[in-house]
Amino acid sequence: MNVDVLLGLQWGDEGKGKIVDVLTPDYDIVARFQGGPNAGHTLEFGRQKYVLRSVPSGVFQGGKVNIIGNGVVLDPALFKAEIESLEVSGYNLTKKIFISRKAHLILPTHRLLDLAYETQKGTGRIGTTGKGIGPAYTDKISRNGLRIGDIEYHFEEKYKKAIVHHEELLRQMNFKYDLASLEKEWLEGINCIKRFKWVDSDHFINKKLQEGKKVLAEGAQGTMLDIDFGSYPFVTSSNTICAGACTGLGIAPSKIGEVYGIFKAYCTRVGSGPFPTELTDETGQKMRDLGYEYGSVTGRPRRCGWIDLVALRYAIMINGVTQLIMMKSDVLDAFDVIKVCVAYEIGGHRIEDFPFEIDNTVKPIYVELPGWKTDMTKMQREDKFPKEFKNYLSFLEEILGVKIKIISVGPDRGQTIVCCL
């Protein structure tokens, strides 16, 4: 069997959590392969809403194995809080979640370093989620990181060594902090992690594939936030793309099956960095209001703009997307005219390939399409789609070269249409 991968094609928050939950019944295993608690994956069903950060989005469908892969960075304190809040809602996940021994730990000082580096950058700050993601991956790459498996091997010694080094860095930056309370909740988190089954997720997943089990790899963030291919340096610190599923789970590229690329019918971004189609006017505000575009983790207002097919085509290419999933089309229900960015104008030239540098001289070239002016939120069947909506879909499919197989028309699990035509 193959591993199917579901990942974001824009700047994150495309609706990955919702669709992983919808697709989970078709799979035996759901596995997160990168990122950490910078993610906020929202799921809604039975009038309840859940926001998952490190917990994979397959936990609400019965009898599935959920894996936190080696490519993930895990904060014990935030993981404990997440697990406890799900327990309050009646979900005991101790037997459902397996954690890779090779996943790296986010230390309390990583969070402090994240804040210190952001403060130092001043107006050039990235606008991180402040969860210590960059510093934790930095330690991983510089071979100073602590892994889940280290909890059983000379842990105290390794932990203290790392903290001494981090405190030295914080002192150099003149950053004031209080480590004691952070450390207390972090160590309680370590005890929580000990309650879960740790696995060599690489061996585990490959054996399951040999047994014919189906695996869905769940991405976090989005392609335009990828450390290599995103709008560097305004990116996250991991490979959010399809290749990240191979390195983040220990599966060979030949084992990748379907690649589900998920995008919003428009665009959003949280934090700093280029965003060619951003709307800072009342149209952008209308999208934010109708789409409730506020960060699921930080509550920050998301920047909004029209769909960008230059960036989307690039993301599809990098990931080898085989099926597209369009989210939040209902947010555009009220618009008379919908704009689609098909190319950029840079220095008087029309550019269709996503360029190395995006600055404020990049001008989007738009095609205007008529809005469908129909309430899509109760729509259940594609043969009932208004003709303007069908027109929007076929326009995108034509330029993107991949079929849109799933359409989401509201946050609830049930507001999802799988296209068969």
408 is a site residue for ligand GDP (CB under 6 A): yes
409 binds, among ligand IMO, Mg ion, ligand GDP, none (CB under 5 to 8 A by kind): ligand GDP
- The tokens for 226 are 């990828």
79 binds, among ligand IMO, ligand GDP, Mg ion, none (CB under 5 to 8 A by kind): none
Residue whose CB is less far from ligand IMO, 51 or 192: 51
Residue whose CB is less far from Mg ion, 10 or 416: 10
270 is a site residue for ligand GDP (CB under 6 A): no
Angle CA 97–103–80, to nearest 5: 50
* CB environment 311-320: b (16+ within 10 A), e (fewer): bbbbbbebbe
410 is a site residue for ligand GDP (CB under 6 A): yes
Q: What is the 3-state secondary structure (H, E, C) of 56-113?
A: CCCCCCCCCEEEECCCEEECHHHHHHHHHHHHHCCCCCCCCEEEECCCEECCHHHHHH
13 annotated active-site: yes
CB of 106 to ligand GDP, least distance (A): 18
21 is a site residue for ligand GDP (CB under 6 A): no
Calpha distance 147→107 (Å, rounded): 10
104 annotated active-site: no
Catalytic residue among 4, 21, 41, 226, which? 41
14 is a site residue for ligand GDP (CB under 6 A): yes
Cα distances (Å, whole numbers) of residue 251 to 34, 97, 246, 260: 14, 19, 5, 17
Residue whose CB is less far from ligand IMO, 37 or 209: 37
331 binds, among ligand IMO, ligand GDP, Mg ion, none (CB under 5 to 8 A by kind): ligand GDP
Calpha distance 207→189 (Å, rounded): 30
Q: Is the dihedral of CA 301, 302, 303, 306 positive or negative?
A: negative
Residue whose CB is less far from ligand GDP, 50 or 354: 50
- Where on the chain is the footprint of ligand GDP (CB under 6 A)? 8, 12-18, 39-42, 44, 291, 296, 327-328, 330-331, 408-411
